[in-house]
């Protein structure tokens, strides 16, 4: 240990703080295991143990959390409003099957449609759980009051969400279990 740091050589015989030279690369090539290292020009490349391979792909810039909704333009939203509205309105008629099909057929670049399909699917699953619990509570009579309330609230929330999707808004249900990913944080 030198000055509080370990002095064991790193990739291609490098020690911390020591600049890699071409001579060090040529001398250490027989001992270096395969991996990603800096080549003599300083570029990240694959070393297979004998020769240098392809250069590393450029790093993908990080997108801040929640920036997807702001970076998505009005032209894309206008093109996807119909499918998003359909994803929010179909659960009134056929339950969670409508948003599930739209979620599965929407492409990852169709973020507005995918957001609304994921939200509608999550809410439909939440609503189904609430209706099952209400049905079980019918044995103690409170379910007879709770079941119609949950059913009417579900229809009202789906209509509100369908109208918001038709206006091009990124709608999120106020009461929802987030079980299916794909909804954008807004």
pLDDT of residue 10: 43
Give mean pLDDT, residues 119-128: 95
Are residues 82 and 162 part of one domain? Answer: yes
| Rounded Cα gap, residues 172 and 2, in angstroms | 57
Q: What is the pLDDT of residues 134-159, one digit of tens each?
A: 999 999 999 999 999 999 999 999 99
> Which conformational region is residue 168 in: left (phi greater than 0), alpha (psi within -120 to 50 degrees), or beta?
left
Q: Which residue has the higher pLDDT, 66 or 175?
A: 175
Q: What are phi and psi of 170, to 5 degrees?
A: -85, 85
44: which strand partners?
A: 38
- Count of the separate structural domains present in the chain: 2
Are residues 76 and 140 part of one domain? Answer: yes
pTM of the predicted model over 0.75: no
Are residues 83 and 137 part of one domain? Answer: yes
Query: Which residue carries 């038709």 as its tokens?
Result: 166
Q: Which residue has the higher pLDDT, 43 or 80?
A: 80
Instruction: Provide the mean pLDDT of the chain.
Output: 78
pLDDT of residue 6: 41
Q: Is residue 97 a contact partner of residue 125, using CB atoms and an 8 Å limit?
A: no
Are residues 37 and 112 part of one domain? Answer: no
| Residues present in the chain in total | 186
Q: What is the pLDDT of residues 12-33, one digit of tens each?
A: 554 444 444 444 455 544 566 7
Task: Give a yes or no: residue 60 inside a domain.
Answer: no
Residue 178 burial (CB count, 10 A): 13
What is the extent of the structural domain holding 142?
67-167
SS3 state at 174: coil
């Amino acid at each position: 240990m030198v000055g509080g740091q370990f002095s064991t050589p790193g990739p291609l015989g490098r020690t911390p703080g020591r600049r890699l030279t071409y001579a060090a690369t040529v001398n250490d090539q027989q001992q270096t295991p395969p991996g990603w290292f800096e080549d003599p020009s300083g570029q990240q490349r694959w070393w297979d143990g004998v020769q240098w391979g392809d250069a590393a792909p450029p790093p993908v810039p990080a997108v801040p959390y929640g920036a997807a909704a702001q970076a998505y333009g009005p032209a894309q939203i206008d093109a996807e409003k119909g499918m998003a509205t359909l994803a929010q309105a179909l659960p009134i008629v056929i339950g969670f099957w409508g948003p599930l099909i739209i979620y599965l057929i929407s492409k990852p670049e169709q973020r507005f449609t995918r957001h609304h399909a994921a939200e509608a699917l999550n809410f439909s699953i939440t609503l189904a759980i609430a209706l099952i619990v209400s049905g079980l509570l019918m044995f103690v009579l409170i379910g007879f009051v709770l079941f119609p309330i949950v059913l009417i609230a579900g229809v009202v929330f789906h209509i509100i969400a369908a109208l918001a999707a038709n206006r091009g808004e990124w709608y999120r249900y106020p009461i929802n279990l987030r079980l299916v990913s794909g909804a954008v944080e807004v």
